[in-house]
Structure 1
Amino acid sequence: MVEIDINCDMGESFGNWKMGRDDEVMPYITSANVAGGFHAGDPHVMRETVELATEHGVGVGIHPGLPDKMGFGRRTMDATPEEVRDYVVYQLGALMGFAARHDLEVQHVKPHGAMYSMLSESADHARAVMESVLEVDPELVYLATDMNIYEVAEEFDDLRAVFEGYVDLDYNPDRSLIVEKQVEPKDPDLVADRFVSIATEGEVEAVNGEVIDVPAESICIHGDGPNAVELLETIHERADEHSIDLVGLDELA
């Protein structure tokens, strides 16, 4: 039986601003990446997201971003490794507080947006964050969004790291992702085919037709997509057809 996790970024609303379709998407995933309040989210949304995850038996992890709500954490920022480490610890601690209210343990860390890009481009920044994760809780799983970060994670013998793949975005031949400026509906069958290919073969077709290695144990679905629920329903159907077991990150790492 093949096992794989489905993760999704959650809790990215704040105040009167709404982002994503958390209520609809949560029943179909196994891990929720909860915004920590820097790029998105607020204390009330964080609490509600943890409650929703608890209701559906979904594992929670922190989705820390740079302190830039106006830019949704996607703008480049000049920050030292120590500063980025502190941003992650701060947001992780906040989620741990809400999780403790529900006797729930935070299971993973997945940096967001420009922070993720910073860690991918700078091994020093990546190491600083990973060291802080180990200091806070050595049982935490680090969800690595690209191979640069995953290779740094492998330097740590005691860090639990899982590589993730994407099925609702296209890949370049070098395994970098093509991020859309405007999110469009996706073909459910194409997305489900990619899911099965990554889960069973560890590979996917790049935008130029070349088959590339994507050795992922977790798949990310963007919950703010216009047909995200339809994509997830099709993925679940295909998982059943191919005997793919959907499990949480804590069962993988």
Structure 2
Amino acid sequence: MKTIVDLNCDMGEGFGQWILGEAPDEEIMALISSANVATGFHAGDPNTMDRVVQLAKAHGVALGAHPGYRDLQGFGRRAIQMNADELVNDIVYQVGALREFGRRHGIGLQHIKPHGALYMEAAANEELSELLIDTLEKTSRNTILFCMGMSKTYEIASRNGHPVVREFYADRDYDTTGSIVFARQVARPNPEEIAAKCVRACMEGKVMTVEGVDIDIPFESICFHSDTPGALDIGRAIRKGLTEAGVTIAPAATVLGL
């Protein structure tokens, strides 16, 4: 049973005048403990990053960089053929940009969480995860890396002693490997069902898979997405459900005891 957990959400994923998702960043920010801020490659731009960093500071939310593939048109959800060096260089570039906005406004960078297809590529790609974690040891030694528990990323980060957080995906389905399953939503998800799923994961450490069987699901942070239809209601329901179950919501660094 968990008594404390992080609640994170992907933020600032518009671009210029274009806004993604139904809920304003301000309203989502009031619900979460860690924010994953788009860093310009899959979404986001300098003005958006600056604004969302200020929001995170104002709400006492921990700041995280959310680097993705260089894929604005595909929102970073399409895999691009690049070698590990190129991908890690792109990550370093994006993380550096957000870190500077954080310094401008007096808020440190708590974590790094790759976005979309890049997150999934790192999960399966041992060479990429090795190089990423080696690079973070040199550039961001105390910066937490977010990933799935069944990933190569988690395995290698744990082996090397790099701070790492495993995520539980509130608004995604799981298969029996413990990996998330991507599917286009045909209807708006039910916030109460998602909240109950999160509470069960905290209380029992289990989730029902698309195959209809329960699996163990270890994690330190719960993620929901600001572009999921009804994201604001989902975030409110999760927060209410966890609080009523006696689970404290706190930034990932607090959960890890850092």
TM over 0.5: yes
Residue type matched to 1:3 in 2? I
Indicate the SS of the match to 1:88. Answer: helix
8 Å CA contact retained: 1:199, 1:217 = no
The normalised TM-score by structure 1 is 0.95
- Residues in 1 aligned to 2:171 and 2:116: alpha-carbon distance in whole angstroms: 16
CA contact (8 A) 2:111 2:145 kept: yes
Query: Which residue of 1 is the match for residue 55 of structure 2?
Result: 52
Matched, 1:151 2:155: yes
Q: TM-score, normalised on structure 2?
A: 0.93
Which ranges in structure 1 are unaligned for 5 or more consecutive residues? Answer: none
Q: Which 5+ residue runs of structure 2 have no aligned equivalent?
A: none
The offset of 1:146, in angstroms, is 4.5
Q: Equivalent residue for 1:2? A: 3
Contact 1:120 1:146 in 2 (8 A): no
CA contact (8 A) 1:31 1:248 kept: yes
Retained in 1: the 8 A contact 2:150–2:177?
no
Q: 154, 179, 183: which one pairs with 1:180?
A: 183
Superposition pairs of residues 203-214 of structure 1, within 5 angstroms: 203-214=206-217
Q: Distance in 1 between matches of 2:147 and 2:14?
A: 24
| Amino acid in structure 1 at the alignment position of 2:17 | N
Task: Give the CA deviation at 1:86.
Answer: 0.7
Q: Distance in 1 between matches of 2:187 and 2:93?
A: 34
Contact kept in structure 1, 2:150 and 2:179, CA below 8 Å:
no
1:194 aligned onto 2:197: yes
Which is worse superposed, 215-224 or 199-208? 199-208
Deviation at 1:240, TM superposition (A): 2.1
In the TM superposition, residue 162 of structure 1 has moved relative to its aligned partner by 0.8
- For 1:137, the equivalent position in structure 2 comes to 140
Q: Deviations over 1:17-67 (max 9, x none)?
A: 111331221100110001110111100000011011111111111100111
Partner AA of 2:20 in structure 1? M
Please identify, of 16-25 and 190-199, the stretch whose mean Cα deviation from structure 2 is larger.
16-25
Choose the corresponding residue for 1:231, options 234, 238, 242.
234
Separation in structure 2 between the aligned mates of residue 38 and residue 12 of structure 1, nearest angstrom: 10
Kindly state the Cα deviation for residue 152 of structure 1 after the two structures are TM-superposed: 2.1
Between Structure 1 and Structure 2, how many residues are aligned?
Answer: 252
Match of 1:61 in 2: 64
Q: Helix, strand or coil for the counterpart of 2:117?
A: helix
Assess, with a 3 A threshold, how the Cα gap between structure 1 residues 183 and 156 changes in structure 2: closer, same or farther.
Answer: farther
Letter in 2 for 1:90: Y
Identity %: 38
Asked whether the 8 Å contact 1:184–1:225 carries over to 2, the reply is no
